[in-house]
Amino acid sequence: MFTVKPLPSAETAHEALAIGLFEGAEAWSGLAGEYDSRLGGQLSRLRKEGDISAKRGRVAVVHPLLPTGAKRLYFVGLGKKEELTFERLREVFGRLFRTWKQAKRAEAAIVLDTFATETVDPNEAAHALAEAYYLATYEFPGYKQKKSEPDGALESLTVHTEADAAEIEASLFVGSVYGKATNSARTLVNTPGNLLTASDLADYAVKLADRYDFDYEILGKEEMERLGMGALLAVNQGSTQPPKLIVLKYQGKEQWEDVIALVGKGVTFDTGGYCLKPRDSMIDMKTDMAGAAAVLGAMEAIGELRPEQNVLAVIPATDNMISGQALKPDDVITSLSGKTIEVRNTDAEGRLILADAVTYAKQHGVSYIIDVATLTGGVIVALGTDKTGAMTNNEALFEQLLEASMETGEFIWRLPITEKDRERVRSSKIADLNNSPGREGHAIMGGAFIGEFAEDTPWVHLDIAGTAATKKDSDLGPAGATGVMVRTLAAFVERFE
């Protein structure tokens, strides 16, 4: 897809060539200056008249009509140089790729150095470029018999730079891995629940394990019963689809120590159980396995990048349905940990299946736990749809995860868990825990409940209920699943100390 070459001249042939422009740089320089000279100052005139703009996100196309050189010049506005960040640059690249896709450009080139600054060097720009390409051009294929003609997509992109070619190629590779892995998660989340059952999710994980030589374990209902996974089994009681506990093991160190557990909620469809969701709230509940998709996407990236870390992925998978056998409010169940739970709300099922998954991870000797889940509507009320809520019992672990999220541009915001919150979760008069002690602080109650099973193991909970999907197209992809937290988890694992 990407080819790295030295900087071209104005006579080098290109179907389409992109050049970045910063505000305040009035005089044309470099390759753009060469083209302006060859065109008798026409680029300067177009910029003065506003047809070419350096405002961030503006993309202007010029047809030079020269006997040699580029057939089309794309000038990409980057705003003020001192305000450019990795995240903003990635969005700008996304806008450019969507422009090329709409124009059905099959081949293109870009002068990478014109997009770099002192704070975003060419290597970081290359990472942003590759990541943006895959994110911005993603499409979920859907199931229509007669599909409209697909938008064009680039088949090759030449990246021109004076920087070290090997380093740029390495950055392009990492960016490509992050983008592709995020898209894999998007596709899983966008898939309807009848076409992605717990068994289907397990089959996907096995294929992933085979591709990257992970050890794996798939627990079925009988194994869960033998082990005593009462919480996961309780959520599954109303379903005709069997539950699965999916376990992937990546060993990047000689010894199985300092193991990071990535635990993802895999509710493939959530009706709410007997605490039935209203119709409007039940639509799009196919996305309730976005935590599982994030973990699987992160494992894809880990499989490609092979970091020197040990990682255990644990995904409890089931749907949450209604039948004569289904879990009921007031039921008391016994989790894998032995702790008993009074079920006050069958729609608070995610924390139940995560309880057994977290306990199972601990039984496998993990040192750190990060769970990812579309857990509560409460986090949307608190933080909106552009922020992932986070809770933790360990400052150092959270700080490393926060740093990874800032690096990838996936915003997280920490919510507190106090002793009074823990007391509320333990407020049942007939069991050890209450799965739904009230609406107040709803998101915190969900996190605090999972924390009862993490206990003293360093742990971070990520509630992605608001960020797992979007209703609007953006420069980095269409409406639908976002694949949120794939890149943050992968970056965290890569850099964990």
| Residues catalogued as catalytic | 277, 351
> What is the C-alpha separation between 415 and 460, in angstroms, rounded?
11
- List Cα–Cα distances, 382 to 74, 250, 289, 425, in angstroms: 41, 35, 21, 19
Q: Is 265 annotated as a binding residue?
A: yes
For tokens 């056998």, what's the residue?
Answer: 325
Q: Which residues contact 283 (CB under 8 A, 6 or more apart)?
A: none
> What is the C-alpha separation between 299 and 292, in angstroms, rounded?
11
**What are the tokens at 88?**
């903003």
- List Cα–Cα distances, 375 to 80, 201, 270, 381, 444, in angstroms: 39, 19, 11, 13, 10
> What is the C-alpha separation between 415 and 390, in angstroms, rounded?
6
Q: Is 347 annotated as a binding residue?
A: yes
Q: Is 270 annotated as a binding residue?
A: yes
Cβ atoms of residues 316 and 211 within 8 Å: no
Element (H or E) spanning 379, and its range? Answer: helix 378-383
Cβ atoms of residues 366 and 309 within 8 Å: no
Cβ atoms of residues 314 and 357 within 8 Å: yes
**What are the tokens at 174?**
């990492």
Strand partners of residue 244: 317
Cβ atoms of residues 414 and 398 within 8 Å: yes
Q: Is 473 annotated as a binding residue?
A: no
The residue length of the chain stands at 497
Q: Which residues contact 289 (CB under 8 A, 6 or more apart)?
A: 188, 189, 196, 201, 264, 265, 266, 267, 268, 317, 374
**What are the tokens at 261?**
């557990």
Cβ atoms of residues 199 and 225 within 8 Å: no
> What is the C-alpha separation between 14 and 160, in angstroms, rounded?
12
> What is the C-alpha separation between 264 and 201, in angstroms, rounded?
12
Taking the CA atoms of 266, 271, 277 and 279 in sequence, report the sign of the dihedral they define.
positive
Q: Is 213 annotated as a binding residue?
A: no
Binding residues for Mn(2+): 265, 270, 288, 347, 349
